[in-house]
Amino acid sequence: MGMTMTQKILAAAAGLERVEAGQLTEAKLDLVLGNDITSPVAIHEMDKFTEDRVFDRDKIALVMDHFIPNKDIKSAEHCKCVREFACKHDITNYFDVGQMGIEHALLPEQGLTVAGDVIIGADSHTCTYGALGAFSTGVGSTDMAAGMATGRAWFKVPSAIKFNLTGKPAEWVSGKDVILHIIGMIGVDGALYKSMEFVGDGIAHLSMDDRFTIANMAIEAGGKNGIFPVDEKAVAYMKEHSKREFRIYEADADAVYDEEYTIDLSSLKPTVAFPHLPENTRTTDEITEDIIIDQAVIGSCTNGRMDDLRAAAEILKGHKVKKGVRCIVIPATQAIYLQAMEEGLLKIFIEAGAVVSTPTCGPCLGGYMGILAEGERCISTTNRNFVGRMGHVKSEVYLASPAVAAASAVTGRISAPAELGL
Residues 6+ apart with CB under 8 A from 159: 4, 21, 22, 193, 194, 195, 256, 257, 258
CA distance 15 to 12: 5
Residue span 322-361 as binding mask against other proteins, x where in contact by CB under 8 A, dash where not = ----------------------------------------
Q: Are 138 and 126 in contact (CB under 8 A)?
A: yes
What are the helix (H) ranges across 217-333? 232-241, 300-303, 306-316
What are the helix (H) ranges across 207-332? 208-216, 232-241, 300-303, 306-316
Backbone angles phi, psi at 261, to 5 degrees: -130, 145
Residue 257 within binding range of other proteins, rule CB under 8 A: no
Residue 182 within binding range of other proteins, rule CB under 8 A: no
Q: Classify the C-alpha dihedral 169-175-176-182 as positive or negative.
A: positive
Peptide bond into 392 cis (omega under 30): no
Q: Which is nearer to other proteins, 378 or 403 (CB)?
A: 378
The neighbour count for residue 319, using CB atoms within 10 Å, is 18
Smallest distance, other proteins to C-beta of residue 371, A: 8
Smallest distance, other proteins to C-beta of residue 31, A: 16
CA distance 167 to 263: 8
What is the total count of residues that contact other proteins (CB under 8 A)?
49
Q: Which is nearer to other proteins, 102 or 403 (CB)?
A: 102
Residue 373 within binding range of other proteins, rule CB under 8 A: no
Smallest distance, other proteins to C-beta of residue 154, A: 7
Residue 367 within binding range of other proteins, rule CB under 8 A: yes
From candidates 41, 61, 82, 328, binder to other proteins by CB under 8 A:
41
Residue 110 within binding range of other proteins, rule CB under 8 A: no
Residue 104 within binding range of other proteins, rule CB under 8 A: no
Residue 375 within binding range of other proteins, rule CB under 8 A: no
Q: Are 188 and 151 in contact (CB under 8 A)?
A: no
**Residue range at the interface with other proteins (CB under 8 A); choices 55-63, 149-157, 231-239, 410-418:** 149-157
Residues 6+ apart with CB under 8 A from 74: none
Q: Which is nearer to other proteins, 271 or 382 (CB)?
A: 382
Note the residues at the interface with other proteins (CB under 8 A).
Answer: 24, 37-38, 40-41, 44-45, 48-50, 66-67, 71-72, 74-75, 78, 122-124, 126, 138-143, 145-146, 149-150, 154, 188-189, 192-193, 219, 222, 224, 277, 365-367, 384, 386-389, 393
